[in-house]
Amino acid sequence: MARPVPVGDNMDSSKVQPETSDESSTIDEDAKLMLAVQADDPFAFEELTSRNQGKVRAYLQRFVGDAALAEDLAQEVFMRVFKHRATYRQEAPFAVWLFRVAHNVAFNALRSKSRRPETLFNAVSLRNSDTTQIGFEEGIVTRSGATPTQKVAKIEKQAIVRDAIQRLPARQRQAVLLARFEGMSYREIADVMEMSQEAVKSLICRAHRNLKDILTPFIQEGRRPL
């Protein structure tokens, strides 16, 4: 089978490996739609975009910290998906291919603007927080092994963890977002970020250590980190 052709900037297709599990061998619905897009089905791209635009936009918003910019970048992601539709190869889950495009679009935008996403999560409405996000935020504090001495509202706890994630270096932050919010495996994250699985594990391990350090004042004393 031919190797996948790079999609967008800095796409090293040699790192995308076919999945071997029985579950991953089944064509997912998005992959079916993408194959239909390749066949110039006029309705497939609209449905594919409708199914995935929300999660791509949310990921970009968490990463760049700007709702308007995230909206523009999400549009660019799907423009690239359509432009490079002929290069798609069903050798990895469609989500991996899609988030590699989003990864490159996001990093290119940050480089071109010479800005750091200093307001990560601040633009995300708390009322739009899904159960996965809430579970991860609460889980960080729970797994840290202590209960805050001062009781705080759940919404404040979530905001504190969002702020802690915001302080992570960009690549650690991205690995955490892909693992905890998108539910990707180490292998899938490695394909998206174009690095080894061991490097991904190291990133996530360092991210968890950094989060614990940042959250220590909250964990031990119930106060916001400085």
Q: Tell me how far CA of residue 152 lies from CA of 128, 157, 160, 219, 221, in angstroms.
A: 20, 7, 10, 11, 11
Two tokens, residue 49: 């975009």
Give the whole-angstrom CA distance, residue 78 versus residue 94.
13
pLDDT value, residue 213: 87
Residue-wise pLDDT tens for the chain (226 aa)?
A: 444 444 444 444 334 444 444 444 445 899 999 999 999 998 999 999 999 999 999 999 888 878 899 999 999 999 999 999 999 988 878 999 999 999 999 888 877 765 444 433 343 333 343 434 445 555 555 554 445 444 445 667 777 777 788 788 889 988 999 998 888 999 999 999 999 999 999 999 999 999 888 888 766 666 565 5
pLDDT value, residue 64: 82
Give the whole-angstrom CA distance, residue 177 versus residue 169.
12
Q: What is the model's pTM?
A: 0.66
Domains, in order of start, for the chain: 22-118 (1.10.1740.10), 126-226 (1.10.10.10)
